[in-house]
Amino acid sequence: MLPNTDTLLNGRPMLLPPMNSTKFALVFSGWIACCLLCLQPAWSQSLDGVWEITTLIDNGRVIEPAIVQRDYVADGKLMIRGPQAQLLMPTTRQLRQIPLAVDAKQSPPKINVALTPTSGAHGIYLVTGNIAVICLATHAKPLPTSLASTPGSENLLLTLQRVPPPSPASAVPVAAPVAPVAPAPQKEYTDEELRKLLTGSWGHQDKTTTRMTTLNSDGSMSSTTTWTDKFKRIFHSDVRSSGSWKVQNGVVIATITTSTDKNLRGQVFSYRIRSITDRELQAIDQNGALRQEWKTPR
């Protein structure tokens, strides 16, 4: 339960000054960290278990719970078992395994999230009872010395609440499909005209990723997805894929044959071109969403 105006100090009410949600989350996370620091024996407690992310602060910015589940972890939970963590990916709703290295003999204990030489993080953590606080920084930054994420620190601070593990038979809710949108194209192109216009390298960026895709004239393709979001740079490695592509009745069909993400192998993606020039395109993907891409110079 969060502290409020009914919190007692020496038997008397302690009134907290009004503050917005961001300041409150920062103050409360710091309050929890201070409480944990006073509990030295708790440092030896294990991180094993299922944890709910109650607060996530990225570089001093509080991430709302709805955004955590939409963009970071689909169910808002982390499962840790020894040298491995597991989370549910928001987009594919597939479970992802992440290697961990924990040194509980240090004071405070240290944690290392090991993915690839260019991703992952190191940090410190504290556990007491059913509460854990983890502070992480990318390997390019020094190891955090305190459980804090202030603006400019580039640290990621997670406050976790231990929960019972989910039942193996529990079903994962699937989001309802988005109704397709089918706007009329600005100009009709033949499949051959589209193939010529599409050949080359294209970029697409959203809030968390940058994706570069190269469509070759021989029908082969390759793509690289990099994470622009701090949380995903730590917990997700870059994805490299290759396969084939074609244009059929105005629809681009791409088939992934090899990928560093095993869940993408064998997947088929399609999108209908809405408009295209030699510099950019707009398309409607298979889920009915509008996507915009830009063409990179050769």
Please write the tens of the pLDDT for every residue from 29-44. 554 444 444 444 434 4
For the chain, the average pLDDT equals: 77
Contact 135, 257 (CB under 8 A): no
Phi and psi torsions of 99, nearest 5°: -70, 140
DSSP line for 219-259: SEEEEEEEE-SHHHHHH---EEEEEEEEEETTEEEEEEEEE
Closest alpha carbon to 29 in 60, 52, 50:
60
| CATH number for the segment(s) 8-163 | 2.40.128
Residue 82 pLDDT: 84
pLDDT band with cut points at 50, 70 and 90 for residue 4:
very low
Query: Does 285 have pLDDT greater than 60?
Result: yes
How many degrees, rounded to 5, is the angle at CA 43 between CA 40 and CA 48? 155
Closest alpha carbon to 151 in 235, 71, 57:
57
CA 244 – CA 192 distance, rounded (Å): 16
219: region left, alpha or beta (phi > 0 left; psi from -120 to 50 alpha): left
Q: Which of 111-115, 177-181, 280-284 has the lowest mean pLDDT?
A: 177-181
The mean per-residue pLDDT over the stretch 15-32 comes to 47
| CATH number for the segment(s) 191-295 | 2.40.128.370
Phi and psi torsions of 148, nearest 5°: -155, 150
Please write the tens of the pLDDT for every residue from 141-152. 899 988 888 888
CA 178 – CA 287 distance, rounded (Å): 6
- CB proximity list for 91: less than 8 A, separation 6 or greater: none
pLDDT band with cut points at 50, 70 and 90 for residue 173:
low
Residues of the chain with CATH 2.40.128.370: 191-295
pLDDT band with cut points at 50, 70 and 90 for residue 66:
confident
Closest alpha carbon to 104 in 137, 138, 132, 140:
132
CA 221 – CA 159 distance, rounded (Å): 41
Q: Which of 196-200, 230-234, 246-250 has the lowest mean pLDDT?
A: 230-234
| Omega cis (within 30) before 108 | yes
CA 276 – CA 278 distance, rounded (Å): 7
Q: Which DSSP symbol is given to 264?
A: G
